[in-house]
Amino acid sequence: MKQHFLPCLLLFLTSVSISSCIGNEPANAECDIEQAWIHVGDAERVKAVFYHAYDTLLTVSSTQTNIVFSTRSDQDAIISTVPLFLETTAGAKVFHVDNNGHEVSFKNGSAIDFSNSQPVNFRVRSEDGHFQRNYTIAVVPKREMPADPEFNFDNNFSLTTVKDGDIYPYYKWTEYGIDWWASGNAGYRLTGLKAQPMDYPTCPELNTGLGGKHCLKLTTRDTGSLGAMVGMRIAAGNLFSGTFDTQEALGNTLAATRMGLPYAHKPSRLTGYYKYVPGVKMQDRTGAEIKNEKDYPDIYCVVYRNTDEQGNPIQLDGSNILSSPEIVGIGRIKSSDIDVSGTQWVHFDLPVAYNATIERADVENYLYNTAIVFSSSIRGAEFIGAPGSTLWIDNVKLECEY
Amino acid sequence: MRVLIMKLRNIIYSLLLLTASVAQAQTVPNENEDKWEKWSSRDIHNSGWIIRAGYVIGGTSPIPLPKEIRSINEFKPLGGVTVGADYYHMFGKRLGIQFGMHLFFEGFHTSADVKNYRMAITQGNSYLSGYFTGTDVTNTKMVGVTLPVTATFRMSPRWNVSVGPFFTFVGKGTFDGEVYDNSEGIGYLREGDPTGPKIEITRKNPANYDFSSDMKHFYWGLEFLFEWKAMQHLNVFGGLDWSLSSIFPSDFETIPFKMYPVYAKIGLGYRL
């Protein structure tokens, strides 16, 4: 047996060294607030303060550091000191940062003074101690988007990033002081193409709009090699009322475009101006050319119920915004009506057709969402389109019945 | 991996026992010096050729394993063949030298769970970096030629141990794979650093990578070879090629660890 000793020893040592290589689990490096909720009292009190019961519990996205609970705006809805609860990534520690910048360890359920809509500062430190994030949490009356809003894209846009210190900013729009518009720009940023702000699918175009002012420019872009790696070869330029969830940007992309925001008015028609030039090569998801097919833009307004019978929120997204049974009204441009010359501004007027009667009181209690959507490729959500397709939009108005 | 090594060990055991019993049936235990004489090569110059063929198993791995690798779910060798010839020369009773030229085809498929694994992807103009938590699946294959130069020590009449450097030229290498969620459904990239945007990556839409074109065509390391003379012309060998250089160039930042090919081999040699 001695003769077998050496190879056996060798193999034994190899196996031991490989299996013992898995070291202790490293401490967590993440320091996010993932959920935040407040207790304002019993169900009746919740109803008096909030439009929806679920407004007391917020799911916080990884790119969000300003957490806002939106309340009704009347006197009864004013709150001051309430217990706050935070759920963080495992092992992270939360500190309440006072006005002097001092950190005080925060315990779930501690009473926090949210009076006068003042944001309260928090800091979260990761379990491994290497990372930290600063958050603000505020309870403020819901900002109201007025009836008959006009969106002329002349100003109200600014550069933004998904995180501090990012050197690849892109444009976003804020209307009436509200983050009304979202786009897929945050997703396009993940292509790692180091795009300049004006190279993003969704950007302003200066001095070419109606009356020589600015306008909105949506372009279907090639997403480069990384985009191809994940089977998303194009990114259609889009702008929609809603939010973009970066977390879903690579996995379930259709779910990333969360379309529609609560709106306390009843839209009757969506009007505005567009110019459109389709890209040359229409391609499918694999990048193969689709012959004899042209690209078209999409413009529509959808109104849908945002709360189910059990009181749970309903948020439509790119997968169901045109097909959900929750939809009560749609106004959409017809592809056959599209002027593809791209030479002049073309007026569009899309009446919103309702398939159900809706109660004014429900509308005013924010029980319906309104989604306004512009896209440079009608099948962009399936990553089918023609790179270069460009849709310019200007002077949009959402006319309301009330 | 351990299961595999144990399997391999069992195979070696049974092979050795088998050949030992065959050999012992032919030999009558004799005086020590006779044994040395009996198992020496017979030619005048005490040198000659050995032709080898064997099975190769192993992988390319950071050494030691970084703590970000939490578990290895799957390890499967792909291919794994070596054929070649060695020229040996014995200077005396115990010491010799061996030059070899071995063609090989080796590879592996592995699936590992990682946590906060720093990675960067460069493809054309695109560059994305961050920390990935989830499952990482890697496939690699290499076809090439290894040139070992080893010193041979004759430990006993029938046992040789050879140690020395080897130099490998990879004719064609592939290194590709994909990342997605682990068995608990967790799979995401924190872009930039762990405070960056969290991007979910799922099995339904995994992120693929292919670093084949980044692989080096040359690496070197140390070869350890154990040989046992089962019969006058036939020997059984087992050994290890432990690379001391990474298969990726030092400026390759996509994988922040040096990746060392480490392959064990087992086979039969025939002394001409």
- State whether residue B70 sits within 8 Å of chain A by CB: yes
User: By CA distance, what is B68's nearest residue in A?
Assistant: A26
Nearest Cα of chain A lies from the Cα of B44 at a distance, in angstroms, of 28
Nearest Cα of chain A lies from the Cα of B130 at a distance, in angstroms, of 11
Residues 73-112 of B with CB under 8 A from A: none
Q: Would you state the pLDDT for residue B42?
A: 56
Q: Would you state the pLDDT for residue A352?
A: 98
Three-class SS of A191-259: HCCCCCHHHCCEEEECCCCHHHCCEEEEECEECHHHHHHCCCCEECCEEEEEEECHHHCCCCHHHHEEE
Q: Would you state the pLDDT for residue B251?
A: 83
| pLDDT digits 0-9 by tens, B5-51 | 445 455 444 444 444 444 444 444 456 667 777 777 655 558 889 99
Task: Determine whether A178 is exposed, middle or buried from the number of CB atoms within 10 Å of its CB (0-12, 13-18, 19+).
Answer: middle
| pLDDT digits 0-9 by tens, A280-305 | 999 999 899 999 999 999 999 999 99
Determine, for residues B1 and A18 on separate chains, whether the beta-carbon distance falls below 8 Å.
Answer: yes
Residue of B5, B159, B198 with shortest CB distance to A11 = B5
- State whether residue B6 sits within 8 Å of chain A by CB: yes
Nearest Cα of chain B lies from the Cα of A33 at a distance, in angstroms, of 11
Above pLDDT 90, what percent of chain B? Answer: 46
- Spatial CB neighbours of B88, under 8 Å, sequence gap ≥ 6: B47, B48, B49, B50, B96, B97, B98, B99, B152
Q: What type of residue sits at position A50?
A: F
Q: Would you state the pLDDT for residue B10?
A: 55
Determine, for residues A131 and B194 on separate chains, whether the beta-carbon distance falls below 8 Å.
Answer: yes
Determine, for residues A194 and B8 on separate chains, whether the beta-carbon distance falls below 8 Å.
Answer: no
| pLDDT digits 0-9 by tens, A34-78 | 999 999 999 999 999 999 999 999 999 998 999 999 999 888 888
ipTM more than 0.95? Answer: no
User: Residue A84 and residue B62: Cα distance in Å, rounded?
Assistant: 45
Determine, for residues A29 and B224 on separate chains, whether the beta-carbon distance falls below 8 Å.
Answer: no
User: Residue B256 and residue B252: Cα distance in Å, rounded?
Assistant: 8
User: Residue A171 and residue B1: Cα distance in Å, rounded?
Assistant: 50
- State whether residue B71 sits within 8 Å of chain A by CB: yes
Which of B7, B22, B115, B126 is the best residue to mutate to test the A interface, defined by the most A CB atoms within 10 Å of its own CB?
A: B126
User: Residue B8 and residue A68: Cα distance in Å, rounded?
Assistant: 61
| pLDDT digits 0-9 by tens, B95-122 | 999 999 999 999 999 999 999 988 877 6
Q: What is the DSSP string of B132-154?
A: EEEEEEEEEEEEEEEEEEEEEEE
| pLDDT digits 0-9 by tens, B46-89 | 888 999 999 998 888 888 888 888 998 988 888 789 999 999 99
Which of B57, B199, B204 is the best residue to mutate to test the A interface, defined by the most A CB atoms within 10 Å of its own CB?
A: B199
Residues 157-186 of B with CB under 8 A from A: 158-159, 161
pLDDT at A1 over 50: no
| Whole-prediction pTM | 0.80
CB A216, CB A208: distance < 8 Å:
no
For residue A402, what pLDDT band results from cuts at 50, 70 and 90? Answer: very high
User: By CA distance, what is A133's nearest residue in B?
Assistant: B195
Q: How many CB atoms lie within 10 A of CB A109?
A: 10
Determine, for residues B121 and A12 on separate chains, whether the beta-carbon distance falls below 8 Å.
Answer: no
Nearest Cα of chain B lies from the Cα of A395 at a distance, in angstroms, of 33
Above pLDDT 90, what percent of chain A? Answer: 77
Is A318 strand, coil or helix?
coil
pLDDT at A227 over 90: no
Taken in order of first residue, the domains within chain B and their CATH numbers are 2-271 (2.40.160)
CB A374, CB A333: distance < 8 Å:
no
Q: How many CB atoms lie within 10 A of CB B262?
A: 16
- State whether residue B46 sits within 8 Å of chain A by CB: no
Nearest Cα of chain A lies from the Cα of B214 at a distance, in angstroms, of 16
Residue of B155, B192, B199 with shortest CB distance to A246 = B199
CB B6, CB B12: distance < 8 Å:
no
In chain A, where the domains are located: 33-141, 150-400
Residue of B1, B116, B158 with shortest CB distance to A26 = B116
User: By CA distance, what is B238's nearest residue in A?
Assistant: A7
For residue A6, what pLDDT band results from cuts at 50, 70 and 90? Answer: very low
For domain A150-400, say whether CATH 1.20.1440.130 is its number: no
Above pLDDT 70, what percent of chain A? Answer: 95
Q: Would you state the pLDDT for residue B31?
A: 63
Query: Taking chain B, what is the end-to-end CA distance rounded to the nearest angstrom?
Result: 36
- Mean pLDDT, rounded, for A354-377: 96
Q: What is the largest distance, in Å, between two alpha-carbon atoms of chain B?
A: 76
Q: Would you state the pLDDT for residue A247?
A: 87
Q: Which of A40-54, A82-96, B114-128, B230-244 has the lowest mean pLDDT?
A: B114-128
Task: Measure Cα distances from B29 to A35, B94, B229, B231, B235 in Å.
Answer: 79, 21, 15, 15, 19
- A33-141 has which fold? Immunoglobulin-like (2.60.40)
Q: Would you state the pLDDT for residue A21?
A: 62
- State whether residue B260 sits within 8 Å of chain A by CB: no
Chain A partners within 8 Å of B191 (Cβ): 162, 190
Residue B27 tokens, joined = 């030999």
Work out how many CB contacts closer than 8 A connect A with B.
161
User: Residue B259 and residue B249: Cα distance in Å, rounded?
Assistant: 10
User: Residue A183 and residue A218: Cα distance in Å, rounded?
Assistant: 10
Q: What's the mean pLDDT when you consider all of chain A?
A: 91
pLDDT at A123 over 50: yes
- State whether residue B208 sits within 8 Å of chain A by CB: yes
DSSP-derived secondary structure letter, A26 = P
- Mean pLDDT, rounded, for A14-21: 50
User: Residue B271 and residue B158: Cα distance in Å, rounded?
Assistant: 13
Q: Pick from A37, A30, A153, A17: which is nearest to B64 by CA? A: A17
Q: What is the dihedral of CA A164, A169, A174, A180, to 10 degrees?
A: -90
- State whether residue B14 sits within 8 Å of chain A by CB: no
Chain B partners within 8 Å of A30 (Cβ): 190, 194-195
Q: What's the mean pLDDT when you consider all of chain B?
A: 83
- Mean pLDDT, rounded, for A84-106: 95
Chain B partners within 8 Å of A25 (Cβ): 67, 70, 115
Determine, for residues B123 and A225 on separate chains, whether the beta-carbon distance falls below 8 Å.
Answer: yes
- State whether residue B203 sits within 8 Å of chain A by CB: no
pLDDT at B198 over 60: yes
Q: Which of A340-349, A393-402, B79-88, B197-206 has the lowest mean pLDDT?
A: B197-206
- State whether residue B198 sits within 8 Å of chain A by CB: yes
Nearest Cα of chain A lies from the Cα of B19 at a distance, in angstroms, of 12
Domain A150-400 in the same topology as domain A33-141: no
- State whether residue B18 sits within 8 Å of chain A by CB: no
The sign of the CA dihedral B181, B183, B185, B191 is negative
Residue of A3, A191, A251 with shortest CB distance to B205 = A251
pLDDT at A112 over 90: yes
Is B202 strand, coil or helix?
coil
- Spatial CB neighbours of B191, under 8 Å, sequence gap ≥ 6: A162, A190, B128, B129, B130, B197, B198, B199
User: By CA distance, what is A163's nearest residue in B?
Assistant: B196
pLDDT at A7 over 80: no
User: Residue A52 and residue A70: Cα distance in Å, rounded?
Assistant: 10
